[in-house]
Amino acid sequence: MKKLCLLGLAIGLASHSVWADTKSASIENKDAFVSNLMKQMTLDEKIGQLRLISIGPEMPRELIRKEIAAGNIGGTFNSITRPENRPMQDAAMRSRLKIPMFFAYDVIHGHRTIFPIPLALASSWDMDAIGRSGRIAAKEAAADSLDITFAPMVDISRDPRWGRTSEGFGEDTYLVSRIAKVMVKAYQGDTPSAADSIMASVKHFALYGAVEGGRDYNTVDMSPVKMYQDYLPPYRAAIDAGAGGVMVALNSINGIPATANMWLMQDLLRKEWGFKGLAVSDHGAIFELIKHGVARDGREAAKLAIKAGIDMSMNDTLYGKELPGLLKSGEIQQSDIDNAVREVLGAKYDMGLFKDPYLRIGKAEDDPADTYADSRLHRAEARDIARRSMVLLKNQNETLPLKKTAKIVLVGPLAKAPIDMMGSWAAAGKPDQSVTLLDGMTRALGDQAKLTYVRGANITSDKKVLDYLNFLNFDAPEVVNDPRSAQVMIDEAVKAAQQADVIVAAVGESRGMSHESSSRTDLNIPANQRDLIKALKATGKPLVLVLMNGRPLTILDEKEQADAILETWFSGTEGGNAIADVLFGDYNPSGKLPITIPRSVGQIPTYYNHLSIGRPFTPGKPGNYTSQYFDDTTGPLYPFGYGLSYTSFSLSDMALSSTTLNKTGKIDASVTVKNTGKRDGETVVQLYIQDVVGSMIRPLKELKNFQKVMLKAGEQKVIHFTIEEDDLKFYNAQLKYAAEPGKFNVQIGLDSEDVTQQSFELL
């Protein structure tokens, strides 16, 4: 084994000579180097570089290595250890031109250490914590020989029926754009060519979060203004931050699939935004152009995709099969292929692979003795970041924090669910390394433990749903199902609850319920779990709900029934410890919702920054012809930006430094924030702006800045925000990005609804 790998390394080093020999181009000059290499490539070698394959059990390794050595594969994904990837790189070094492979993976919220799901990370509003999670993920992934991730996923999601809401950073353009930048910088470090960096490929370009009805893979139909204003900025932010790659969305946009969309891929991405990196299709998307009904057959699909500028085809063979014929017949030009090849080679260059194909694979003798060793995890950081990402929704009568001396009964199907704790897209995370809530609470209590655990309910009693969830996992059914009847389990839980001082119920979704393809029509906690909650409430004991879920759930009844609600999302490897820290007050919760929680599915969309309307809802006489659903209360259950603490905060003395702003000037908006409670704690001061009158309808308010502030009990601080003309710009009907003179309202609050307001005039 060792011998083989040393041989690999020798080949790797020898390979430099091929590139060093290219006289006209030094390896220090990217463009010249890539052009020179391309001059030496045959058509087949070029097309081989455009092929990105998934490594799965169905692909015999030997065959793959043969294909690589023949120059027929440019990169792989889903192969994630050094010993797995080294022989493939060795094979590439045996190919005629020794062009290195790259190795990709979905490193979305951690690699070996799993951090909270992206929606949870966004709930921290803590750019430092989010950045740390990305940096650690990159280091772990790079140490496992990975060169590139398909992340960050920055699709704005305003319809929580969409299962992939869990994978994004919420509903708000400004917040998601800030996070997009932080994540790209975190993955790529100072440069994507560093040994401990991986390249970021932002996804899913574009508008995937706006699929109609929240049904995955559905169409998107959207006005250009809405795209530019609300949905495109996060992708742009990632690209401006230097993301080396883009993954193209599976959906269509205004009638044209993204994968064949010349406007999207050429006019917008490359010409308008100046993107020069790698564009990768999503899984099988080129082939799906036939299903979309824009390509007659594989040949036409390949033609549309290469013309649009899809550089690499993920897991279909159409480029290999069809591009030579298309070129011969003149339906595509050599430049179409060359452009794609240039981007692939350019990305490999930027990953540092031409200088050292084994940059992240390293030497065999340095391979970790046990790839899965616990010592490779970053547990302390995962725990810290997880507890920052939880949102306290309700805390009546200071039910929380719990006393460690209390008699506690822990119930619910998610109390002991290591796989769910990790959330979906858990990369290389191992369920047996994740800390459940039961583990976490038991450890926190130590000798004092008066903790009883009873399951109380399954995730669902609906056989169809259970079958769906278990079908999702190819290895083993992942949703554990207790065969006892729902009533027997509830009775057992109630009996235990009657003996306790307080009940903690871990309820919500299994991770597969908030995943790719897992759209829902109903956002309630599954019915059998709701029955459990009702029965627990009836005991009269204080009831704490620990929610685990990947999207906002409609918890209208539970809001009434529970004394306290902690939204923990899916909080990763250290989730159980982090939740216990919050439950017992070892950490004071500070998260804020990055997405609105609706009262019902019928209300969706409920995002906070909707456009002004002619007849806004005005409470008063019934039937007063204002905008509402007459059969329910108007407004969300919990607004965007909302989240409580074990202490309380007040805002006062809001002031603007001027009532006018000229185009080159600045206004200072200040406010005093005070910790008025008895504990130290953090909160997020949020700044919203409303453009009162414009040439187009403008939103009621838009988040424009925020600061997370730590205050000791009784402490106060004056917070300052700077407002400039740039903060007031928007895309008008002609898609011109400009600010318009007139009145602006500035609102400062601790959530998007409860704000104080002052105004100024842009001259």
By annotation, the residues acting in catalysis are 282
End-to-end Cα distance, the chain: 73
Closer by beta carbon to ligand NOJ, 46 or else 203: 203
Give min distance, CB of 1 to ligand NOJ, in A. 29
Residue type, 113: T
Tokens 């209300």, residue located? 603
Give the interface size with ligand NOJ as a residue count (CB under 6 A).
7
Q: Quick check: 459 and 483 in contact, CB under 8 A?
A: no
Give min distance, CB of 108 to ligand NOJ, in A. 8
Count of Cβ atoms closer than 10 Å to residue 694 Cβ: 14
Give min distance, CB of 205 to ligand NOJ, in A. 11
Residue type, 672: T
Q: Quick check: 116 and 180 in contact, CB under 8 A?
A: no
Give the residue closest to ligand NOJ by C-beta: 150
Residues within window 203-262 making contact with ligand NOJ, judged by CB under 6 A: 203, 247
150 binds ligand NOJ (CB under 6 A): yes
Can you tell me the distance from the alpha carbon of 454 to that of 532, in angstroms, rounded to the nearest whole number? 12
Closer by beta carbon to ligand NOJ, 66 or else 283: 283
Can you tell me the distance from the alpha carbon of 310 to that of 318, in angstroms, rounded to the nearest whole number? 12
The count of residues in the chain is 763
Phi, psi of 384 (to 5 degrees): -60, -45
Closer by beta carbon to ligand NOJ, 312 or else 580: 312
Closer by beta carbon to ligand NOJ, 105 or else 584: 105
Q: Quick check: 358 and 12 in contact, CB under 8 A?
A: yes
- Among the listed residues 45, 90, 106, 336, the single contact to ligand NOJ using CB under 6 A: 106
Residues within window 182-211 making contact with ligand NOJ, judged by CB under 6 A: 203
Closer by beta carbon to ligand NOJ, 473 or else 498: 473
Residues within window 568-627 making contact with ligand NOJ, judged by CB under 6 A: none
Eight-state DSSP code of residue 436: P
CA 391 to chain centre: 17
282 binds ligand NOJ (CB under 6 A): yes
Give min distance, CB of 313 to ligand NOJ, in A. 13
Give min distance, CB of 186 to ligand NOJ, in A. 18
Closer by beta carbon to ligand NOJ, 282 or else 350: 282
Give min distance, CB of 657 to ligand NOJ, in A. 45
The encoded tokens of residue 698 equal 């403008």
Give, in degrees to the nearest 5, the angle at Cα 231 between 229 and 233: 70
Give min distance, CB of 106 to ligand NOJ, in A. 5
Q: Quick check: 591 and 643 in contact, CB under 8 A?
A: yes
Residues within window 21-50 making contact with ligand NOJ, judged by CB under 6 A: none
Can you tell me the distance from the alpha carbon of 459 to that of 553, in angstroms, rounded to the nearest whole number? 15
Give min distance, CB of 367 to ligand NOJ, in A. 25
- 660-673: b (≥16 Cβ within 10 Å) or e: ebeeeeebebebeb
Residues 6+ apart with CB under 8 A from 508: 414, 525, 529, 547, 548, 549, 553
691 binds ligand NOJ (CB under 6 A): no
Closer by beta carbon to ligand NOJ, 149 or else 645: 149
Closer by beta carbon to ligand NOJ, 203 or else 360: 203
What distances in angstroms separate CA 648 from CA 400, 639, 683, 714, one per listed residue? 14, 18, 9, 10
Can you tell me the distance from the alpha carbon of 671 to that of 648, in angstroms, rounded to the nearest whole number? 16
Give min distance, CB of 267 to ligand NOJ, in A. 24
Residues within window 303-332 making contact with ligand NOJ, judged by CB under 6 A: none
Can you tell me the distance from the alpha carbon of 84 to that of 145, in angstroms, rounded to the nearest whole number? 9
* C-alpha gyration radius of the chain: 27
Count of Cβ atoms closer than 10 Å to residue 718 Cβ: 10
The encoded tokens of residue 291 equal 């299903």
The encoded tokens of residue 229 equal 């204003």
Closer by beta carbon to ligand NOJ, 150 or else 287: 150
- Among the listed residues 94, 215, 283, 729, the single contact to ligand NOJ using CB under 6 A: 283
Give min distance, CB of 281 to ligand NOJ, in A. 10
Can you tell me the distance from the alpha carbon of 176 to that of 238, in angstroms, rounded to the nearest whole number? 10
Give min distance, CB of 284 to ligand NOJ, in A. 9
One DSSP character per residue, 37-77 reads HHHT--HHHHHHHTEEEE--TTS-HHHHHHHHHTT---EEE
Tokens 């939880």, residue located? 390
Q: Of 402, 392, 410, 441, whose CA–CA distance to 566 is shortest?
A: 392
Q: Which stretches of the chain bind ligand NOJ, using CB under 6 A? A: 106, 150, 203, 247, 282-283, 516
